[in-house]
Amino acid sequence: MAEVQETDFVIVGAGVAGLRAAIGLADSGARVLVVTKEALAESNTHYAQGGIAVALTGEQDVALHLEDTVNAGDGLVNRGAARVLVEEGPLRVEELLRWGTDFDRENGRLMLTREGAHSRNRILHAHGDATGAEIARSLLRHARAIPGITLMEWTTTVDLVVEEGAVAGVELLSADGQMHQVRARAVLLASGGAGQVYSDTTNPSVATGDGIAMAWRAGADIADMEFYQFHPTALSLPGVPRFLLSEALRGEGARLRNSRGERFMESCHPLLELAPRDIVARAIAREGMGPGGEQLPVWLDMRHVTAIDPAIRFPGISKFLVAHGLDLRRDLIPVRPAAHYLMGGIRTDLHGRSSVPRLHAAGEAACTGVHGANRLASNSLLEGLVFGARAAEAMQDAPALHAGRAPVPAEPPKNNGDLPEPRERLQRTMWEKAGLLRDAEGLSAACRQLCALKSQIPSSASRQGIETRNLYTIGKMIVASALAREESRGAHYRNDFPHRDDSRFGRHSLLRGEKISFEEL
């Protein structure tokens, strides 16, 4: 029998949303358990290069940030959520400054830069291209100093415990293979995105959609899963991971060139290389398609930029490129799009509440509608801070645990071995059939291929088996939602329905079990 423990609150995920929520809950005197399946520093937050968008120069900047967010979201942004984001963002960033976050400065003042679809400079960055890592460092340092927070590394969350229609805790798998259960007043899923559902992704290996899959199994509403943002510029070298080449490079003047050396964004959008990400990503994909289906190179060109030293402004990117024989100052850098950020997720209100009592979500695992169909660059870290703090406030209203209950601890499933091949086939299927450019034929084929894979997915109690099952669930959600939305909007592009259709699809997709509808959030 597995051990049963008890705490006030459980947070799954130790990125920006999870840590900010933990700090808020523990400051109220609660006992908080933060669970992460790898080291505490390993999260999508850690890999965020470009920066954090925040309006620090007054009400006009806040109003413009709101409009930029709404415009990037291609008609589907929940304006109320976006208003919360931009209005509360400055307060949350000021907290980070008080907690010792070392943002880059120039002559003693915070340095503000620009990224795609922003109307003015409002991006803070740290150590050039290590913003997420610096924010994670300062939040983790602050969290460690609070006695009520327990941080549990190398522990996989298997599933949610549901009693009488409400979440009552989590089932956990420790690194040594032991199962145990933790009961809590409420659970926050801040477990990040699901980039590993695609073969080409900028996300780390931990991004397997665990929280979203668990929430769906517990009966929660899931929204907007068809909207997966593909970052336009990931390094494209054979045998090398799709290393993110930050949008901040284009913010500093980098240009995109096709195989003929031509700058092609001039014919695509008035903002050129700083157009919304979906537009830039599709332009790169099309320029990289040869007449016979062969892959043509597309290049990021920073050779003409002399106002900055790339090795100083982008030390992490420069170091990685040098290790592969490339230099931003002298070379054209081969790029292609890669899966980067999920706009959809667990449907929540503006306080992180899901449709299941006592279950909350924040950050990339959640969907408030704040990003609409296409996230504005560098709004993700801000979202985690703002809605992580809001979720913590709402969770404090959860009633105390029922006394005298004796839940039956979960037994781990039988181990039938972990096969890497099903996961790799799933990832290839999703990339080829449900990626950047979609149509009914490809999506229907993806649905059939995923169904055929189901029986081959391991049911073992290992982390790999659990993750693969979750990725399968995420893939099915993405394909079903993409098939249902017969239009093109933001990050969702259908070759067979190339135009936006507000009359039929000007609302959010909602998955309730296996059923899909289109509703307002």
Distances (CA, A) of 490 to 7, 282, 393, 432, 434: 41, 11, 32, 19, 15
State yes or no: pLDDT of 115 exceeds 90. no
pLDDT band at residue 116 under the 50/70/90 scheme: confident
The parent domain of residue 296 ranges over 236-337
Specify whether 511 is located in the same domain as 412: yes
- The domain that holds 245 is classified in CATH as 3.90.700.10
Structure letter (DSSP) for residue 177: S
pLDDT of residue 216: 98
pLDDT band at residue 416 under the 50/70/90 scheme: very low
In the predicted model, what is the mean pLDDT of residues 397-422?
61
Relative to beta strand 149-152, strand 155-163 is: unpaired
Looking at the structure of the chain, the number of domains it has is 2
- The domain that holds 433 is classified in CATH as 1.20.58.100
pTM here is 0.93
Specify whether 428 is located in the same domain as 508: yes
Q: Is residue 123 one of the residues assigned to a domain?
A: no
Q: How far apart are CA 451 and CA 514, in angstroms?
A: 14
Q: Are 518 and 511 in contact (CB under 8 A)?
A: no
- Of the three residues 337, 361, 382, the one that is the final residue of a domain is 337
Q: Is residue 203 one of the residues assigned to a domain?
A: no
pLDDT of residue 420: 65
Annotation says 485 is catalytic? no
More confident position, 42 or 507? 507
Q: How far apart are CA 82 and CA 63, in angstroms?
A: 10
Q: Is residue 60 one of the residues assigned to a domain?
A: no
- Of the three residues 296, 318, 337, the one that is the final residue of a domain is 337
Residue 155: helix, strand or coil by DSSP? strand
- Token duo for residue 342: 């999920």
**For tokens 């929280």, what's the residue?**
211
Q: Is residue 174 one of the residues assigned to a domain?
A: no
State yes or no: pLDDT of 195 exceeds 90. yes
* Non-local CB neighbours of 257 within 8 Å, separated by 6+ positions: 263, 264, 298, 299, 301, 332
State yes or no: pLDDT of 408 exceeds 60. no
Q: Is residue 481 one of the residues assigned to a domain?
A: yes
Q: For the segment 36-89, what is each residue's pLDDT rounded down to a tens digit?
A: 999 887 776 766 777 999 999 999 999 999 999 999 999 999 999 999 999 999
Q: Are 209 and 193 in contact (CB under 8 A)?
A: yes
Distances (CA, A) of 89 to 101, 318, 382: 15, 30, 6
Q: How far apart are CA 265 and CA 269, in angstroms?
A: 6
- Closest by CA to 386, choosing from 77, 8, 95, is 95
pLDDT band at residue 289 under the 50/70/90 scheme: confident
Please classify residue 427 by burial: count the beta carbons closer than 10 Å to its beta carbon, then call 0-12 exposed, 13-18 middle and 19+ buried. buried
Beta strands in 287-444 (DSSP E): 299-301, 332-342, 345-347, 359-361, 366-367
Q: Are 484 and 509 in contact (CB under 8 A)?
A: yes
Distances (CA, A) of 287 to 278, 297, 339: 14, 8, 18
Relative to beta strand 332-342, strand 228-235 is: antiparallel
Q: For the segment 292-310, what is each residue's pLDDT rounded down to a tens digit?
A: 778 899 999 999 999 999 9
In the predicted model, what is the mean pLDDT of residues 347-366?
98
Angle at 466 between CA 414 and CA 364, to 5 degrees: 165
In the predicted model, what is the mean pLDDT of residues 266-289?
92
- Of the three residues 337, 367, 389, the one that is the final residue of a domain is 337
pLDDT of residue 53: 96
- Considering 242, 255, 277, 336, which one is annotated as catalytic? 277
Mean pLDDT (the chain, rounded): 92
State yes or no: pLDDT of 179 exceeds 60. yes
pLDDT band at residue 358 under the 50/70/90 scheme: very high
Q: Is residue 372 one of the residues assigned to a domain?
A: no
Q: Is residue 443 one of the residues assigned to a domain?
A: yes
pLDDT of residue 35: 97
Q: Is residue 470 one of the residues assigned to a domain?
A: yes
